[in-house]
Chain A
Amino acid sequence: MDISRGDFIKTLMGATGLMLLRKPAIKATSQSTSSVSEYAILVDVSKCVGCWWCFAACKNYNNLPEEIKPESESPPELSSKTWTTLSTVNINNRWVYRKHACMHCTDAACVKVCPAGALNYTEEGYVLYDRDKCIGCGYCAEFCPYEIPKLENNKITGIDTMSKCTFCKERIENGQQPACVEACPTGALKFGKRQELLEEAKERVKELSKKNRNACLYGEYEMGGLHVLYVLPDKPSVYSLPEMPISPASLIVQKDIFHPLAWISWGVIAAGLAVNLLVVRARQLKKKEGG
């Protein structure tokens, strides 16, 4: 097996980090890739016809400014006003579309880096955010391997807040489906228990792999398990998905190694200096008494 030096160092640091780290509560529930309470959206790329209804429904439900139907050649990028879009690719003169929005990772880099605690996991596996807590530092946008979070920059005050897909949590709590799923006319989007969707996705991939051996399921293990699962007729990079998404190495080094190390080194130095004072005072006293 070929392991590059960088990968080796990353693994080593990651392992060291894990030993030092007090485990976040979410880890317990994410041990099994899908606990019973987790939900997901299944995106079957082979069934998507690029009608943009998910895009429009998302804007409609979330009160985001609407736009005319985009062109496949220039799909809108995610922004603070567009929380879901289609990533397009032209294969043999045919447009292929992949719905692109927050993946709701199990081990999300954005949650880990957020200094404000504004990003959090829910029991259902969603990654949600609290706008009132957001300080607009933008680290989530810089650390997300899928470049999902976007910031609304207020040029005057300099204060921003991040925004992204919310999984339509309120709709689900009211017994509805996420707006994008409900709008999908072809069955390319499906909302349900993650465990069940995984089974279904695997069946679909089995079928698709008869045509293309590269057909795959994306999201079962990526970033600890995504809550948006993709059935892809070809390998992930074709649809501009990273084959091996990872949290930035610097984040693991920073939060799992240097942060605990900080308290240890400050403690050791403070204790050492206190001992120094005690020793030097005692010796001085002795000298005076002796002299």
Chain B
Amino acid sequence: MQQIERYTSSARWFHWVHVVAFLWLALSGLLLFGSWFGFTPVGIWIRIIHRVGAVLLLGAPLLYAILHIRKSWSFIKEAFTWGKVDLEWVKAAPGYYFGNDKTKMPPQGYINTGMKLFRLCILLGMAIFIITGLILWFFKGTVPPEVIQYSLLLHDIAFILSICFLFIHIQLAVLHPKMDEGLLSIVDGKVSAEYAKSHHGLWYDETVKNGK
């Protein structure tokens, strides 16, 4: 079966480094969130451990952005490019994801509306995590206490929401029967032509036109 490249090897590396950093931070963050670290061998090292993850989470996208400026820029631009077709997608999505009804789904480009939404959430969430995280790390005692207090609140809210989106991401990338090539594509970078045609019709046409 014909295979089409969907993710470059550096994009895949970036994805999985981000996964490790995110889970590292989420798990150590959950211990802080629930005040459970005292019962784990982690104990008072929890802050250091959390910060190791933070360096990875901030470092990986910076490195990727330096190495692939144009791709990074289009990653951001795509997330903010919205049109009428996105509204149609939103209307048709429940029927598709619950009822296998593909007839009303408008053909999608490289990423669909749901993925765009997810990208926006990642960009916003990362911004909140990084800004409030840096404040909590470096500015205690030097900024007014209210800044620390609300940074902590925002950091918690971003955490709560990002776990919600993590569940949805895993559902749609790994578990949902319609996305049967999702996980494999971010591992070996390729999807079948058939999958590309049915999930990302516009992108498939473009790719074929470009003779890839």
Contact = CB atoms under 8 A, between A and B. Distances in A.
A binds B: yes
Interface of A: 115-117, 133-139, 141-143, 147, 158-159, 248, 250-251, 253-254, 258-259, 261-262, 265-266, 269-270, 273, 276-277, 279-281, 283-284, 287
Interface string B149-163: 110110011011001
A262 B145 contact: no
Interface of B: 32-33, 35, 37-38, 43-44, 46-48, 97-100, 140-141, 145-146, 148-150, 152-153, 156-157, 159-160, 163-164, 167-168, 171, 175-178
Contacts of A141: 140-141
12 contacts: A117-B35, A133-B44, A134-B44, A135-B43, A141-B141, A142-B145, A253-B153, A262-B159, A266-B163, A269-B168, A276-B176, A284-B100
Given A250-B153, A280-B178, A269 B167 contact: yes
Contacts of A283: 98-100
A142 B140 contact: yes
Contacts of B46: 135
A277 B171 contact: yes
Nearest to A135: B44
Given A133-B38, A269-B168, A276 B98 contact: yes
A280 B176 contact: yes
Given A142-B145, A248-B145, 8 more contacts: A116-B38, A135-B44, A142-B148, A248-B146, A265-B164, A270-B167, A280-B176, A284-B100
B150 A250 contact: yes
A258 B38 contact: no
A93 to B, nearest CB: 34
B100 A277 contact: no
A273 B171 contact: yes
Nearest to B167: A269
Contact of A142 (B37, B149, B163, B176): B149
A4 to B, nearest CB: 17
Contacts of A269: 164, 167-168
Contacts of B156: 254, 258-259, 262
B149 A251 contact: yes
Given A266-B163, A276-B171, A280-B97, A159 B149 contact: no
A159 B46 CA distance: 11
B149 A143 contact: yes
A115 B156 CA distance: 13
Contacts of A115: 32-33, 35
Contacts of A142: 140, 145, 148-149
A284 B177 contact: yes
Nearest to B94: A276
Contacts of B164: 265-266, 269
Q: Indicate the member of A250, A259, A284 with the most B CB atoms within 10 Å.
A: A250
Nearest to B101: A283
Contacts of B141: 138, 141
A265 B176 contact: no
A143 B150 CA distance: 11
A141 B140 CA distance: 9
Q: Indicate the member of B46, B47, B98, B163 with the most A CB atoms within 10 Å.
A: B47
Nearest to B163: A266
A135 B37 CA distance: 10
Contacts of A279: 98-99
Nearest to B159: A262
A116 B160 contact: no
Nearest to A254: B153
